[in-house]
Structure 1
Amino acid sequence: MKKISILILAVLFISCKSEAQQKEKNTKEFKVQKTENEWKAELTDKEYRILRKAETERPFSSPLNDIEEPGVFVCAACGNQLYETKHKFKSGTGWPSFDRAIENSLALSSDRKLGYERSELLCGDCGSHLGHVFDDGPKETTGKRHCINGVALEFIPKEKL
């Protein structure tokens, strides 16, 4: 009887995937709507995997980590303005980090890919995966750290805006 109970619990545990979070993300209406084939045609393989399949780039691999000049970071998939350089900080984590986004530029979701719930940051216009937000940012500002994949962003210097 004990073995059957353990087996039932194991089956229930395995079947409890985070489908609700996935459905929540997929059913939200975003301004920019494209088919998966359209995204694949427009994005590089790496951009597609990160922006549309929520993968993560290797830490310390983004040239955007070192950008300090004034400007705006936009979504690499749709061009939505997301972050200003003035809110960027060196977190030491290996990914571009910001303490806040441009108002109304993001959407939030949640994921449990690592076995615990994290707040996932999505582009507010196209729903592309950007990264995650954590509560270990600069205490003197917002206390938040938006940990963003550099591949998910493009930088536009202030003089080109």
Structure 2
Amino acid sequence: MLKIRTTRRFLFSSVPAAFAGMALGGRAIARDGDAFHFEVTRTDEEWRAMLTETEYTIMRLGGTEAPKSDPLWDSEEDGTYTCKGCDLPLYEGRFKVVIDKGWLFYRHSYPNSVLTGIDKSVYSQFAQRDGDKDAPMLPTEVDISQFSDEERDLLDPLLSLEVHCRRCASHLGHILYVENKLVHCINGTSLNFSPEAA
């Protein structure tokens, strides 16, 4: 288990970095003991066979793609965005907001298409990239029981809402407050896009 010695100085100096990292990761979704039963389930081997290594890292391990790595991050084309894991329609082009941060942002999803959960991961933005700026980033777990109540009060606002597909549990991204907008910040790697028919 990772041991961290936490001081007030550490907390106050790390809060800005944590805010910067909120858009950068999530955790695997379909954990043992989840009360929700997903309609589409696959073994780990089946997921690995159908997804590329990067897609698997993002959708099944809760990673985050590098900014601007998906070609549709700034597209304003009308159409439907579906889950790459199960083809469930999630977002529509008209729900999209282009924000120059490098991910796909939406005002909302289709009704009953996504689930959310509190993501308690602590992120290390660039340490896990090993020099590859295009590599997906993974969350790092920290045992929160080691923090005092006062420290948790300081850290709680840093928790983000993870978004995942309600049909197959694939990690999609997070709900964040970006440029005065509450938006779904989504990994394009988790989606397929079908342009609107002319």
| TM-score bucket of the superposed structures, by smaller chain | 0.7 to 0.9
CA RMSD of aligned residues (A): 2.2
**Aligned equivalent of 2:51:** 43
Q: Which of 134, 137, 147 is equivalent to 2:185? A: 147
Q: Which of 141, 157, 160 is equivalent to 2:195? A: 157
Indicate the percent of aligned positions where both proteins have the same amino acid.
36
Deviations 1:84-122 (A, max 9, x none): 000101122110100110111001112111274210000
Number of paired residues? 137
Unaligned runs of 5+ in 2: 6-26, 123-154
Answer with 1 or 2: which has the greater Rg. Answer: 1
Deviations 1:6-48 (A, max 9, x none): xxx96xxxxxxxxxxx798521211101111111111111100
Q: Which of 168, 179, 193 is equivalent to 1:126? A: 168
| Aligned residues of 2:28 and 2:62 also touching (Cα < 8 A) | no
**Aligned equivalent of 1:4:** none
Q: What is the CA distance between 1:63 and its match in structure 2? A: 0.5
**Which structure features the higher share of helix residues?**
1
Q: What is the CA distance between 1:154 and its match in structure 2? A: 0.9
Q: Partner letter of residue 128 of structure 1? A: S
Q: What is the CA distance between 1:77 and its match in structure 2? A: 1.1
| Aligned residues of 1:51 and 1:130 also touching (Cα < 8 A) | yes
Q: What is the CA distance between 1:135 and its match in structure 2? A: 2.9
| Aligned residues of 1:25 and 1:109 also touching (Cα < 8 A) | no
TM-score (norm 1): 0.77
Unaligned runs of 5+ in 1: 1-8, 11-21
Q: What is the CA distance between 1:68 and its match in structure 2? A: 1.5
TM-score (norm 2): 0.64
Which has the larger displacement, 30-39 or 64-73? 64-73
Q: What is the CA distance between 1:136 and its match in structure 2? A: 3.3
C-alpha change, 1:24 and 1:55, in structure 2 (3 Å) is closer
Q: Does 1:63 align with 2:40?
A: no
Deviations 1:112-161 (A, max 9, x none): 112742100000110000000013366xxxx421100010011001119x
